[in-house]
Amino acid sequence: MEKIKMKTPLVEMDGDEMTRVLWKWIKEILIEPFVELKTEYYDLGLPYRDQTDDKVTVLSAEATKKYGVAVKCATITPNAQRVTEYNLKKMYKSPNGTIRAALDGTVFRAPILLDGITPYIPTWTKPIVIARHAYGDIYKAVDGKAGKGKAELVFTNEKGEKEVKTIHEFGDNGVVMAMHNTDKSIASFARACFNYALDMRLPLWFSTKDTISKVYDGNFKEIFSTIYENEYKEKFEKAGIEYMYTLIDDVVARIVRSEGGIVWACKNYDGDVMSDMVATAYGSLAMMTSVLVSPDGVYEYEAAHGTVTRHYYKYVKGEETSTNPVATIFAWTGALKKRGELDELPELTAFGEKLEKATIETIESGYMTGDLVGLFKKDGVTPVKLNSRDFLTKIAERI
């Protein structure tokens, strides 16, 4: 069989620990035998980030802007313990945070569904995609303790004029917080959500709490509505999908009763919380994909989970591990399919689809990694636990 040729390189961001091991195996066993892989390689593994004072992360984000599609392996976000473990020069920022900031993107998380793994909410037969705004609100808030006295919110305009609002007159100890967002970031978030929903042909629901937060959340609601009316309404109607704005409490109630098949756009904190709930309800974090989409149509694909440290320490000791590579495989297929679409290479897109199908069918036929064995229930199929490499080989047999 002749290998599929690529036109534009993918930006390849390598990572850390167990996922770095899986990364190499996925390429070796599932991709390189079939595709003449063209990538521009950036090593975001912690040792090389340290060696380059984290410049490699910035370079990889710039390359992503240039080429349009990246695939990223999970990476360590260093904490104090990692600084000691890797003897780091400093405690670097999260690579995902750096890349998100550079691309001004929105993160979409979608579960991989298959026959044999039933979500904890059994009516969820289609994926629920959470779109999380990745800028501002409590993640960029200023907070502090208060004692007896008055807390005020002060806005000083360009001319130096002040607008002062009383937050609370404290009679005793308490806490205060101030947070912000920008119209520009909210508009980017809105466009990323509308584009993604059109791409996937899924309805888009957006929720806030604007009945309580009339100005702050009201601003989100209004920006979404204006952009929808002016830029997307016709396209949505043509695609036969709807945009709906409603209160977050209402969406929670509707989501639980739904069959899925929805993109749910969430403010930053809501998305943080709801994405973990949705991921858990679908069964396993190892079956959750994630894509960062920028407002100008740049895509970065990854798995939603981390570097699976506990498994890596076992691997280093020479023990066999049964770490689930599915979300990382889907990061690769997502990127290859998008590259195929942009470069008009239908055979590359078809390969991505074929690899996804082979992965799902391998599990549905009973071969899987340890994390799925306890979740899998299908008449006439007894689940068999394979180590990561054997699982990848089993998938390759189906391509």
User: Which residues of the chain form contacts with ligand NAP (CB under 6 A)?
Assistant: 74-77, 96, 285-286, 302, 305-310, 323-324, 371
Catalog residues that contact Mg ion under the rule CB under 5 A: 272, 276
Nearest approach in angstroms of CB 160 to Mg ion is: 40
Name which of Mg ion, ligand NAP, none residue 77 binds, using a CB cut-off of 5 to 8 Å depending on partner kind: ligand NAP
Name which of Mg ion, ligand NAP, none residue 324 binds, using a CB cut-off of 5 to 8 Å depending on partner kind: ligand NAP
Name which of ligand NAP, Mg ion, none residue 371 binds, using a CB cut-off of 5 to 8 Å depending on partner kind: ligand NAP
Q: Which is nearer to Mg ion, 222 or 272 (CB)?
A: 272
Nearest approach in angstroms of CB 246 to ligand NAP is: 30
- One-character DSSP codes across 341-383: HHTT-HHHHHHHHHHHHHHHHHHHTTEE-HHHHTTB-BTTB--
The number of angstroms, rounded, from the C-alpha of 150 to the middle of its chain's C-alpha atoms is 41
The strand pair at 10-14 and 262-266 is best described as unpaired
The strand pair at 106-111 and 288-293 is best described as antiparallel
Closest CA to 74 of 133, 131, 17: 17
Name which of Mg ion, ligand NAP, none residue 76 binds, using a CB cut-off of 5 to 8 Å depending on partner kind: ligand NAP
CA angle in degrees (0–180, nearest 5) for 292-262-213:
80
Name which of Mg ion, ligand NAP, none residue 207 binds, using a CB cut-off of 5 to 8 Å depending on partner kind: none
Q: Which is nearer to Mg ion, 272 or 390 (CB)?
A: 272
Nearest approach in angstroms of CB 272 to Mg ion is: 4
Nearest approach in angstroms of CB 130 to Mg ion is: 11
Name which of Mg ion, ligand NAP, none residue 134 binds, using a CB cut-off of 5 to 8 Å depending on partner kind: none
Q: Which is nearer to ligand NAP, 76 or 186 (CB)?
A: 76
Q: Which is nearer to ligand NAP, 43 or 210 (CB)?
A: 43
Nearest approach in angstroms of CB 97 to Mg ion is: 14
Q: Which is nearer to Mg ion, 276 or 361 (CB)?
A: 276
Q: Which is nearer to ligand NAP, 57 or 208 (CB)?
A: 57
Strands of 113-182 (E only): list them: 128-132, 142-146, 149-156, 162-170, 174-178
Name which of ligand NAP, Mg ion, none residue 286 binds, using a CB cut-off of 5 to 8 Å depending on partner kind: ligand NAP
Distant-in-sequence, close-in-space partners of 200: CB < 8 Å, separation ≥ 6: 129, 263
Name which of Mg ion, ligand NAP, none residue 285 binds, using a CB cut-off of 5 to 8 Å depending on partner kind: ligand NAP
Residue nearest to ligand NAP (CB): 306
Two structure tokens written together for 326: 């599915």
Dihedral sign for Cα atoms in the order 62, 328, 84, 77: positive
Whole-angstrom Cα distance, residue 201 to residue 239? 7
Kindly report the number of other CB atoms within 10 A of residue 377's CB atom: 10
Nearest approach in angstroms of CB 271 to Mg ion is: 8
Please write down the HEC assignment for all residues of 238-288: HHCCCEEEEEHHHHHHHHHHCCCCEEEEECHHHHHHHHHHHHHHCCCHHHE
Q: Which is nearer to ligand NAP, 133 or 311 (CB)?
A: 311
Nearest approach in angstroms of CB 276 to Mg ion is: 5
Answer yes or no: are the C-beta atoms of 281 and 119 closer than 8 Å. yes
Nearest approach in angstroms of CB 293 to Mg ion is: 19
Q: Which is nearer to ligand NAP, 82 or 209 (CB)?
A: 82
Name which of ligand NAP, Mg ion, none residue 272 binds, using a CB cut-off of 5 to 8 Å depending on partner kind: Mg ion
Q: Which is nearer to ligand NAP, 26 or 193 (CB)?
A: 26
Please write down the HEC assignment for all residues of 288-334: EEEEEECCCCCEEEEECCCCCHHHHHHHHCCCCCCCCCHHHHHHHHH
Nearest approach in angstroms of CB 395 to ligand NAP is: 15
Q: Which is nearer to Mg ion, 13 or 266 (CB)?
A: 266
Distant-in-sequence, close-in-space partners of 144: CB < 8 Å, separation ≥ 6: 175, 176, 177
Whole-angstrom Cα distance, residue 79 to residue 166? 38
Whole-angstrom Cα distance, residue 236 to residue 241? 5
The strand pair at 174-178 and 142-146 is best described as antiparallel
Nearest approach in angstroms of CB 61 to ligand NAP is: 14
Residue nearest to Mg ion (CB): 272
